[in-house]
Amino acid sequence: MPNTVICIGMAGSGKTTFMQRLNSHLHAKKTPPYVINLDPAVLKVPFGANIDIRDSVKYKKVMEEYNLGPNGAIVTSLNLFATKIDQVIKLVEKRSSAVENVIIDTPGQIECFIWSASGAIITEAFASQFPTVIAYIIDTPRNSSPTTFISNMLYACSILYKTKLPMIIVFNKTDVKKADFAKEWMQDFESFQAALRRDQEINGENGESSGYMSSLVSSMSLMLDEFYSQLDVVGVSAYTGEGFDEFMDAVDSKVDEYNEYYKAERDRILKQKEEDEKKRQTKSLSNLMKDLDLDQSQKDSDVLSDLESEEDENNGEVMRDEDEPERQYTFPEDRNSEINESTDADLQSRYQAAFEKTAKSPSSETAENIANYIRR
């Protein structure tokens, strides 16, 4: 299965340029990747995409039709695209024997992808089929301040625990400023504290820093110490191509980590969900049986079908009890004949005789009334 790299980064971090350079680097290595663009608002991409969200969703039409702003239109476009993610996965699977890497570009409005339902669906779809790695792109020159740096690390931490996938921190634009200071801050807490004090002294003179902010940043750096241990950190330059061999080595390392830890954890979570669903169904059935006053453990049922014998010797006919008296018919010879004008007079006379024979002696007036009723 090909490795999947989902590139995530804030606007201006050089994410799209990073994608272009990574695509060029893999082509130079004779291992061209499968490229997917998920940014519906971009006007032009500097790389050829095998799958482009703009081919199926028109961003401006979404804005007009649903009366949305830029971010709302991006989220809606991703939602529409996510309904066809199964087709995207099938297309990638068809090329799985020919490609080693799948690289995915995401919108610069990072919250539109990470914190939306469609972003979670797309990420889960790839992670469930292919070894998937998150590449978090950071603008190195903008993170030279300890406060800005710690803010970016907190965002990266939230992405890691949201996606539950291996992550590589990519410090981009190292041709402008080297990323050595950032790596040192992540490895040495005392070095970060010293940089924080220097920043407080410089900005304190201009009233741009406060003791509360410094205390908060210092506490956050202590909290993130465990988080740093779960990351691979590389410095690259999308402009010059520096550091991309190191990045691909980090991808291979994270793929091994995915197969060893993350895949097992995801399988455990899916199995737990199935067991919880079975327990829920069993509990619902038990409650239903309880509401209907039925005992599931009762083996002797009172249902008529359970009381019937397996072999019906009488072909469904109800047999007469042995001590039941034989039925007597008043007019056995006429049981199957229908009443007509010729038989009606004879029938009336028989009813009259039977009545006079069995009836008690009523008053003459009552007897006459009964006789008239019978005649009618």
Predicted confidence (pLDDT) at residue 364 exceeds the cutoff of 60:
no
Name every residue whose Cβ is closer than 8 Å to that of residue 246 and which is 6 or more positions away in sequence. 234, 235, 236
Beta carbons within 10 angstroms of residue 70's beta carbon: 12
Mean pLDDT to the nearest integer, 169-180: 94
pLDDT: is 127 or 336 the higher one? Answer: 127
Among 184, 193, 40, smallest CA distance to 122 is for: 40
CA angle 55, 60, 62 (to 5 degrees): 85
If pLDDT is split at 50, 70 and 90, which confidence band does 342 have?
A: low
Query: Are 84 and 38 spatial neighbours (Cβ–Cβ below 8 Å)?
Result: no
Predicted confidence (pLDDT) at residue 49 exceeds the cutoff of 80:
yes
If pLDDT is split at 50, 70 and 90, which confidence band does 171 have?
A: very high
Mean pLDDT check: name the lowest of 114-118, 245-249, 340-344. 340-344
Mean pLDDT to the nearest integer, 236-258: 94
The amino acid that residue 86 corresponds to is D
Q: What are phi and psi of 56, to 5 degrees?
A: -115, -20
Q: What is the pLDDT of residue 134?
A: 96
How confident is the model over 58-104, as pLDDT tens digits?
A: 999 999 999 999 999 999 999 999 999 999 999 999 998 899 999 99
Q: Length of the chain in residues, anyone?
A: 376
Name every residue whose Cβ is closer than 8 Å to that of residue 288 and which is 6 or more positions away in sequence. none
CA angle 153, 155, 158 (to 5 degrees): 110
Q: What global pTM score does this model have?
A: 0.71
Set out the domains of the chain in order of their start, with CATH numbers.
3-195+227-267 (3.40.50.300)
* Residue 190: C-alpha distances to residues 42, 101, 140, 295 (Å): 42, 39, 21, 68
How confident is the model over 205-237, as pLDDT tens digits?
A: 444 455 677 788 888 888 888 788 888 999 999
